[in-house]
Structure 1
Amino acid sequence: MRQLADIPHPDAKITLFSWNGKYLIKLEKGPLEQTYKVSELDVTSEADVYALLDAEFIQAAVQRFTLMRQDLQAAFDRQGL
């Protein structure tokens, strides 16, 4: 796996990788992470991958972290952990 870029953002760590014919967009916030795989055949260049990372996409992903955290906490609560 080759790291292509760290993309600065105040709400999440965003890293772009290239691996096995795919671009991987990895977002991290605390102990949670989201990875999106984009086939190299679906875009014409690395610049297209950057274009996918518009404000609307990033805002939705950051909001999803809140839901992920709630889901994990609910699982802990159900198990009494």
Structure 2
Amino acid sequence: MRIAGYIEHSALKITIFQMDNRFTVKFEDGKNEQAYKFRTGQFINSVQDIRRLVDAAFIQEVMVEMGRMHRVHQSALQRLQPEETEDEFDEII
């Protein structure tokens, strides 16, 4: 697999990979990443085709999914944290 190109975005790192008859587009936001694979064929044959495919609507859906992934990540981490208990002091009479 080789890097075939990048798509500029202010909040995401978007990398286009190419291998044999497939393109993979990876979106990264620092903590999470998503990858979408596309076979070459009638509509997708070049990096330019991938750039047209990854339009504003596509990126908006990726951002929504990144938000969901972040919530899943945070929820899992919270489940690992022990429940807070009040400090118990000896009773002073």
Question: SS state of the match for residue 25, structure 2?
Answer: strand
Q: Which residue of 1 aligns with 2:32?
A: 32
Which has the larger Rg? 2
Q: Provide Cα deviations, 1:2-39, integer angstroms capped at 9, x if missing partner.
A: 11111110010001010242100000001210000001
Tell me the CA shift for residue 44 of structure 1. Answer: 3.9
Compute the TM-score of the two structures, normalised by the length of structure 2: 0.77
Tell me the CA shift for residue 42 of structure 1. Answer: 5.5
Structure 2 Cα separation of the partners of residues 44 and 16 of structure 1: 13
- 1:43 corresponds to which letter in structure 2? F
Compute the TM-score of the two structures, normalised by the length of structure 1: 0.88
User: What RMSD in Å do the two structures reach over aligned CA positions?
Assistant: 1.6
Structure 2 Cα separation of the partners of residues 42 and 2 of structure 1: 22
Q: Which residue of 1 aligns with 2:72?
A: 71
Structure 2 Cα separation of the partners of residues 67 and 19 of structure 1: 29
Q: Provide Cα deviations, 1:41-78, integer angstroms capped at 9, x if missing partner.
A: 36342132221111000011012111101001101112
Q: Please identify which structure carries the higher strand content.
A: 1
Which runs of 5 or more structure 2 residues have no equivalent in the other structure?
83-93
Q: Please identify which structure carries the higher helix content.
A: 1
Which runs of 5 or more structure 1 residues have no equivalent in the other structure?
none
Matched positions, count: 81
Structure 1 Cα separation of the partners of residues 42 and 33 of structure 2: 23
